[in-house]
Structure 1
Amino acid sequence: MDPPKRPLFLSLLVFFSFASLAHATGVFHVRHKYLHRKRAIADLRAHDARRHGRILSAIDLPIGGVGLPTDTGLYFAEIGIGTPSKNYYVQVDTGSDILWVNCATCTACPKKSDIGIELTLYDPKGSNSATLVSCDDNFCTSMYGGEMLDCSPDKPCEYRILYGDGSSTAGFFVKDFVQYNQVSGNHQTTPANASVSFGCSAQQSGDLDSSSEALDGILGFGQSNSSMISQLAAAGKVRKVFAHCLDTVKGGGIFAIGNVVEPKVKTTPLIPNMPHYNVNLKAIEVGGAFLQLPTDLFETGDKKGTIIDSGTTLAYLPEAAYKQLMNAIFSYKSNLNFRTIQDFLCFGYTGSVDDGFPDVVFHFENSLSLNVYPHDYLFQNEDDVYCVGWQNGGIQSKDGKDVFLLGDLVLSNKLVLYDLEDQVIGWTEYNCSSSIQIKDDETGAIYIVDAHRISAAGGLETFFTRQTRR
């Protein structure tokens, strides 16, 4: 009798870099979805308006269960699915829970995309490894908290997601292989795959069927048991820990699943039983002075705490906090000529914004702070014209509730760690175009993974390293 095999764990690394998609066959590639076109600043609001309406809304799943919010992200990955494997472009999103792709039988799914990629419809019948997930499957009953009504072994596990902006997606779950490369040493990979249950979208409505930002689907990194990271963790293939680092200087970065050992990251607890990554914000500091805000402002409505979301571009604050923050920032410069450009507050300025304006610091539970510099919250729209990235959350919220929602504006150029095993999140300032260190728990080896080794032309690579639980 053969001895039992030790369970393997994987560490997934995604490099955000404008690199050629023609290289590294079989690994995941990720690109910025606006790579081929210059974005108007109105696109920032439009993206967040769609996302904000969805992320703040309860999701209607008629077949039962809790809401699983999902939405578009700023980056997308090229993944392989099926046998033989075909490539699909899916948005990478920490605010989503499931992986889903458009299905061959889809009604009103986009047939083309305006962002320079070729769309592919997934056909379970065309994959030798695909199986339908039935309604009595453990994945389905776990996802919805019990067996659905009128369930029979030949009935598929169906889903329907309604978003706050009126768009929707519906379909059924399929189980198939997702392709990736496994790191076996420094810059050494071997091909591998994992069996994952994911959504096969058969219907779409609203802006999900638009070709303007169309992709093949969404790859969610949320906390629910239906997310890919949760499935891989349950199968003993990964630790339920991931991190990302978005580089605004060179357009690169890192997205990693697994045991990141360097740099070290200080953390704060996640608020329990929340559908998103919510944390307790305690205070806001501008130029060394704390804003005088009521403590209950940090726990507004039923959206308790502050949402950390890499799929949101800007940063949204409740009106009371927004007004105090803006007054404090611009008290440093009283002679600016303000104007509105595409609904953004903008002004002319010829000096260094880092020299002329104050740093903003968010203070969280467990003495974790988040520094936001003027070059982060003031973005240059044209020569000598800067616009403000802070947004009035009270205006943006469709349900009338003020929230703190912090997106890429404050998260860029930081390594952000999500530890779902210990239910904490944290970050540290970091050069996102440099390397990180990951540990192979089976061998104890620490691998250096360098984002610079990706060529400068457009994509990300995603690698897995073996890890085993002690």
Structure 2
Amino acid sequence: MTTSILPLVPVLVLLSSMSSHGHAGHGGDEKREHYMVVETSSLLEPTAICSGLKVMPSSNGTWVPLHRPYGPCSPATSITGTPSLAEMLHWDQLHTDAIRKKATAGGEDVLEPDTPIVDVQQTDYRPIASFGIGTGRGRSGSSTISPTAIDDPILAQTMSIDTSIDLPWIQCLPCPIPECYPQQNAFFDPSTSRTSAAVPCRSAACAALGRYGAGCSNKQCQYFIDYGDGRATSGTYMTDTLTLNPSTVIMNFRFGCSHAVRGDFSGQTSGTMSLGGGRQSLLSQTAATFGNAFSYCVPQPSSSGFLSLGGPANAGPGPASFSRTPLVRNPNIIPTLYVVRLRGIEVGGRRLNVPPIVFSGGSVMDSSVIITQLPPTAYRALRLAFRNAMRAYPRVAGKAGLDTCYDFVRFTNVTVPAVSLVFEGGAVVRLDPMAVMIEGCLAFVPTPRDFALGFIGNVQQQTHEVLYDVGGGSVGFRRGAC
């Protein structure tokens, strides 16, 4: 994620995936219902032209634009280049393995000093956004203030958006290389912000860090985050003014000021703006102002989406209503994660013969995971049905861990079977073509075993507005929102 110095900066969220823009074709009733005709090029490479925001989000709170990091709409440029599909999915596997390992470990997130560390060379594939931090004036203790109360420059920090982490953090001076990683723009310097303050050691905020707490240094509260996938960050826990957009300013926002990292984070990002379910996240810190809900729409590479705090104003019944599934309340899974339950899969309009019990491990709704991971029994059934529907096209060797790939070089258009995910409560989410295939391959992988914790990745979420109604205990889906 990259940074820039601007007076008031709109959030620019970039989602990581390599899938591409496709146009649904128009055939007979059955084809429109059960199959999708798409341009071959759209399944292989992204469009090079940005079409901008397709819809204006409807929100009770505040919203900001959302983009992909490597698409034509992205305002950020990578200092490490565009990652390959193999690199992306290798990181995806490391990341999901780490989350799965921590999910049922009582929330403990501890580094063992004598454990060998694998230095993973990776690109940060999470959604990213630019937030203004520092130097705002306002009454102490107020949650939001008018932007007219700010008379100093605000340093924009472009940060990853991650629903699987609770504690927001950015790189802060002093931040020597290689203890820190190079980023495109200036490091945040808390000494230049008149509203910046370290959280005291004996404060309630420091005690509330829980598993992210790392003791004290010079009477200042310290934090530590171990991602479990080869990356970690540590530093001072601080408060400062957070600017989401010109009309939304959050006072006394708590975040980690990182002075050291481990692993290879992307130079596009200055850190992570976390939206997990824990007490330290952006969602929890703004719940009193915007309500305990947020939503986002993952765009196609050639258009823009949005992130909304407070959720949409028209979330109730009606033509624009959400199809909802309950959030799973499991005391054995850390509260950071948003877990839902799949009940089945439809391919070409037909429900696969998969016992619902194989999904009983639950699935994490995750903005940072790239492709969906299904129980092996469900994945094999999906793969068989998909291959049967795609018999007209020659299969080729798998790549990047994906085992169902095709050669479309002789075809102008491709007919892809419609795939829908069926959730507990009756929510049926029909995927767009670019959410079914990625670089000519079926965009799903199996979990290690049936009943294991699965993931709903951002490739499958794209073009849907996904509502995390934490207060209401549900996740909602609305198709065609971006």
Q: Please list every run of 5 or more consecutive structure 1 residues that lacks an aligned counterpart in the other structure.
A: 1-8, 20-28, 64-70, 183-189, 433-470
Give 3-state SS (helix, strand or coil) of 2:187's partner. Answer: coil
Deviations 1:411-461 (A, max 9, x none): 0011111111112111010241xxxxxxxxxxxxxxxxxxxxxxxxxxxxx
Aligned to 2:395: 337
* Alignment check: 8 A CA contact 1:309 1:406 kept: yes
Post-superposition shift, 1:47?
3.6
- Aligned-partner residue type, residue 168 of structure 2: L
Deviations 1:195-250 (A, max 9, x none): 20100112211224xxx5452100011111101221122xx322121111122163
Correspondence 1:178-327 to 2 at 5 A: 178-182=242-246, 190=247, 192-208=249-265, 212-233=266-287, 236-248=288-300, 250-262=302-314, 263-272=320-329, 273=331, 274-300=335-361, 305-327=362-384
- Aligned-partner residue type, residue 348 of structure 1: D
Q: 1:81 aligns with which of 122, 125, 133?
A: 133
Aligned to 1:450: none
Higher strand share: 1
TM-score by length of 1: 0.71
Tell whether 2:89 aligns with 1:45.
yes
Give 3-state SS (helix, strand or coil) of 2:164's partner. Answer: coil
Tell whether 2:476 aligns with 1:419.
no
* Alignment check: 8 A CA contact 1:18 1:31 kept: no
Deviations 1:234-287 (A, max 9, x none): xx3221211111221633111111241243213211011443111121122222
- Aligned-partner residue type, residue 171 of structure 1: G
Deviations 1:16-37 (A, max 9, x none): 2589xxxxxxxxx975666995
**Bigger CA drift: 32-41 or 164-173?**
32-41
Deviations 1:103-140 (A, max 9, x none): 21335344424xxx32x322322221111112322222
The 2-side partners of 1:31 and 1:145 are apart by 35
Tell whether 2:427 aligns with 1:361.
no
Post-superposition shift, 1:340?
2.7
Q: 1:181 to 1:285 in 2, by over 3 A?
A: closer
* Alignment check: 8 A CA contact 2:220 2:237 kept: yes
TM-score by length of 2: 0.69
Give 3-state SS (helix, strand or coil) of 2:219's partner. Answer: coil
* Alignment check: 8 A CA contact 2:364 2:456 kept: yes
The 2-side partners of 1:364 and 1:99 are apart by 30
**Bigger CA drift: 194-203 or 242-251?**
242-251
Correspondence 1:114-193 to 2 at 5 A: 117-118=184-185, 120-144=186-210, 155-182=219-246, 190=247, 192-193=249-250
Q: CA RMSD of the aligned region, Å?
A: 3.3
* Alignment check: 8 A CA contact 1:104 1:122 kept: yes
Post-superposition shift, 1:73?
4.6
Post-superposition shift, 1:149?
10
The 2-side partners of 1:150 and 1:376 are apart by 44
Aligned to 1:394: 448
Identity of aligned residues (%): 24
Give 3-state SS (helix, strand or coil) of 1:51's partner. Answer: helix
Q: Please list every run of 5 or more consecutive structure 2 residues that lacks an aligned counterpart in the other structure.
A: 1-58, 112-122, 136-151, 315-319
Post-superposition shift, 1:90?
0.8
Deviations 1:383-403 (A, max 9, x none): xxx2221112229xxxx9843
Q: 1:408 to 1:181 in 2, by over 3 A?
A: closer
Give 3-state SS (helix, strand or coil) of 2:425's partner. Answer: helix
Aligned to 1:112: 182
The 1-side partners of 2:269 and 2:215 are apart by 34
Correspondence 1:97-108 to 2 at 5 A: 97-106=166-175, 108=178
Aligned to 2:29: none
Give 3-state SS (helix, strand or coil) of 2:161's partner. Answer: strand
Give 3-state SS (helix, strand or coil) of 2:422's partner. Answer: strand
* Alignment check: 8 A CA contact 1:60 1:160 kept: no
Deviations 1:167-216 (A, max 9, x none): 2212221011112335xxxxxxx4744220100112211224xxx54521
* Alignment check: 8 A CA contact 1:33 1:76 kept: no
